[in-house]
A and B are shown apart, each in its own frame.
Chain A
Amino acid sequence: MNDPLTPRGAIRAITQARLNFGPPRFAADTAASLDFALDHARAREAVESELDVARLTAGLDALGLPHDIVTSSAATRDVFITRPDLGRLLPQDQADVLSRHASPDVAVVLGDGLSAVAIALNGVAFVTELHKKLSQDGLNIGPVILARQARVALGDGIALALAAKTVVMIVGERPGLSAADGLGVYITQNPSAQTPDSARNCISNVRAEGLPIHDAARQTYDLIKEMRALGCSGVALNQSRATNVLTSD
């Protein structure tokens, strides 16, 4: 055993796996066992958390951004968890309310998804950055829609009610054991009631220790510009890009 030892810090930089350092123990020790339980408790708390509407609206008010609130057809957290179909559906009465707003260029939705904690931590900051970039181009986002019990496709119904051509749906991602603050950003051009997932572009793991908010907002902005120029999103956008490259050669 003359080979050099790898320091634990170097090992932890290579993998976050919960390796068993030192002599093998044939049961997890008390500290490791309770650490794991705490991580799971945090993840469960994030999944069960509700959108903190008061705090989010206060944050948006402070920035002078108008807002409105909807709830999907999943009335409660429990229904939302087991019935993703209902979380994708905007009730008609709520669509009617939204349709009274002036039509924006880009609809922006903050939905709880599987972690309202992530929206509470990073949602307003992301919208602020995105709004800045879009307004420099003269694109208006209308009221920021706060959506409770929201799956990604709820954004389609919201965009249809607002008559927006582009929708940015920001949802809390499913919490892992180590982080519950990741946002997923889904951007769709010309959303419809039957938008397939393949027609969306997605930016994931948006959080301080993943893809920073500033970079994610920049990527979202670039995608919106491209989608609005080419009139499509998702797989079609990728194909359209390829075609444009070919023709420009």
Chain B
Amino acid sequence: MKYFADIGGQRFKWPSLKQLLAHATPERTGDQLAGLCASGPVERLAAQRCLADVPLKAFLDDVLQVEDDDVTALIMEQQDASAFSPIASLTVGAFRDWMLTPTTTGTDLTAIAWGVTPEMAAAVSKIMRAQDLIAVAAKIEVVTKFRSTIGLRGHLSTRNQPNHPADDSRGIALSAVDGLLMGTGDAVIGVNPATDTVPDYIRICEVLELIRTQLDIPTQHCLLGHVSTAIKAMEQNAPVDLVFQSVAGSTKANAGFGVTLPMLDEAYDAAYNLGRAPAGSNLMYFETGQGAALSADAHHDMDQQTMEVRAYAVARQYKPLLVNTVVGFIGPEYLANGKQIIRAALEDHFCGKLLGLPMGVDVCYTNHSYADQEDMDVLLTVLSAAGVSFVITVPGSDDIMLNYQTLSHHDANYIRTTLQRPPAPEFAAWMDRMGIGTPDVRIPSIENALGQLRLPN
């Protein structure tokens, strides 16, 4: 047995790094469902102690151990030996201690991003408590840019998510305006479509483009349809700002989303060639979430959190403007309750930032989870302390298309006011110009919006 730990006269053994990672993972239902978790709290701690002594170099081998997995190949290709050199001699435990040392700065952490593999990030996060995950993530500044600048220290951006169950143009516009009146949407105005046809994709892009241009908003929009639909829409010259795709941590899991790396390459090139963004902009938007690989039966016996971080290797290949983990959406069979959702969100945010991603979180839950809006209040507050790039907001926390609860536009105001987290500077200036939040607001009210905005039919 390669990995073992002795505790109180009892020897615990794990046959592979993959199983050691799984057994060291803090408790969550998805790993229990997959039969991958520790037998109990003592074995979990034994695994964490064993993991703390594993050299980071051990993670340079193939941890997933699946032949011809293109995410594994990408991870190997990305790993930069010179970026790795400052931490090359460390164990997982010493890596944690180094990150928490006051003299280790955000610049130091940014410098190692391409030396750290997803499995290293996942491993160290498993032996970090909530405050460790917050403290280290808060040091790291990941700045991305399109029309607005996301991720500046001390700022918190929002995605305005004006979904409608029938993709009704007016319904989408009304919901978007509701958020704009409360100052949300500086990360993106992004719609999850109910349908996935090219004409609908183009129509909704045009609705969002008209709102953006008529109100002169320094932000970008996105339709979160499938990347293949986006490619077809761009061929017809649709006004596509950001290209979206859900991604996961193995070839098979990505196949479950109907996506391959060459498709993402093609989409990136198409968005770049549209030439809509200022030079040097970030053009992609990705979503991920713990449990996605297991639900596609594509986890290859790797724990759900490590699989999640592998998805970040896919994301960072395309220098995205935004990445968010849809943490509570998947349901209680993966993350049972508020505690598990909060822990998972902090892990995902930390690991994403450590790998250099502009990490946002969909602070959310479903009605069959043991969670409620108060858990979301706590999660929003701790994520803001951790320096989250953006969160998602909808009218009254109720997403009427996806049927789950996320944050409200009011919640964005709560955190901005209470922790002094203004939106992107360009957007904050626009809010001032438009008198957002004052009696002299210069964008249409809900009742005025359909009369004043010229929407496509």
Asked whether B332 is an interface residue with its Cβ less than 8 Å from the other chain, the reply is yes
Asked whether A67 is an interface residue with its Cβ less than 8 Å from the other chain, the reply is no
A-B contact count (CB 8 A): 132
Asked whether A246 is an interface residue with its Cβ less than 8 Å from the other chain, the reply is no
Segment of A4-12, A91-99, A119-127, A237-245 engaged in the interface with chain B: A4-12
Of the listed residues A15, A21, A36, A81, the one surrounded by the most CB atoms of chain B closer than 10 A to its CB is A15
Segment of B89-97, B138-146, B237-245, B443-451 engaged in the interface with chain A: B443-451
Cβ of A4: which chain B residues have Cβ within 8 Å of it?
Answer: 451
Does the CB pair A36–B367 fall under 8 Å? no
Asked whether B19 is an interface residue with its Cβ less than 8 Å from the other chain, the reply is no
Given contacts A84-B333, A174-B367, contact A1 B448 (CB under 8 A): yes
Asked whether B32 is an interface residue with its Cβ less than 8 Å from the other chain, the reply is yes
Does the CB pair B396–A17 fall under 8 Å? yes
Segment of B41-49, B303-311, B397-405 engaged in the interface with chain A: B397-405
User: Complex Cα distance A240/B368, Å?
Assistant: 37
Give min CB distance, B224 to chain A, whole Å.
17
Given contacts A15-B168, A27-B413, A40-B367, contact A5 B451 (CB under 8 A): yes
Given contacts A82-B29, A82-B33, A114-B368, contact A19 B448 (CB under 8 A): no
Does the CB pair B447–A15 fall under 8 Å? no
Cβ of A114: which chain B residues have Cβ within 8 Å of it?
Answer: 368
Of the listed residues B174, B175, B178, B446, the one surrounded by the most CB atoms of chain A closer than 10 A to its CB is B446
Does the CB pair B448–A3 fall under 8 Å? yes
Cβ of B372: which chain A residues have Cβ within 8 Å of it?
Answer: 40, 44
Given contacts A15-B400, A17-B175, contact A43 B181 (CB under 8 A): no
Cβ of B394: which chain A residues have Cβ within 8 Å of it?
Answer: 17
Give min CB distance, B34 to chain A, whole Å.
10
Give min CB distance, B255 to chain A, whole Å.
15
Does the CB pair B29–A176 fall under 8 Å? no
**A:5-31 near B, CB below 8 Å:** 5-8, 11, 14-21, 23-28
Output the nearest chain A residue to B336 by Cβ-Cβ distance: A82
User: Complex Cα distance A1/B332, Å?
Assistant: 48
Does the CB pair A20–B333 fall under 8 Å? no
Give min CB distance, A242 to chain B, whole Å.
19
Does the CB pair B368–A81 fall under 8 Å? yes
Does the CB pair A17–B178 fall under 8 Å? yes
Given contacts A26-B410, A32-B396, A82-B32, contact A15 B367 (CB under 8 A): no
Output the nearest chain B residue to A114 by Cβ-Cβ distance: B368
- B422-457 vs A, CB cutoff 8 Å, 1 = contact: the mask equals 000000000000000101010010111111100000
Give min CB distance, B82 to chain A, whole Å.
45
Cβ of B408: which chain A residues have Cβ within 8 Å of it?
Answer: 18, 28
User: Complex Cα distance A175/B446, Å?
Assistant: 28
Cβ of A17: which chain B residues have Cβ within 8 Å of it?
Answer: 162, 164, 171, 174-175, 178, 394-396, 398, 400
Asked whether B212 is an interface residue with its Cβ less than 8 Å from the other chain, the reply is no
- Give 19 pairs: A residue, B residue, CB < 8 Å, sorted on A: A1-B452, A17-B174, A17-B395, A18-B397, A19-B395, A19-B396, A19-B446, A20-B182, A20-B446, A21-B447, A24-B182, A28-B396, A36-B398, A44-B372, A47-B367, A82-B332, A84-B33, A174-B368, A177-B367
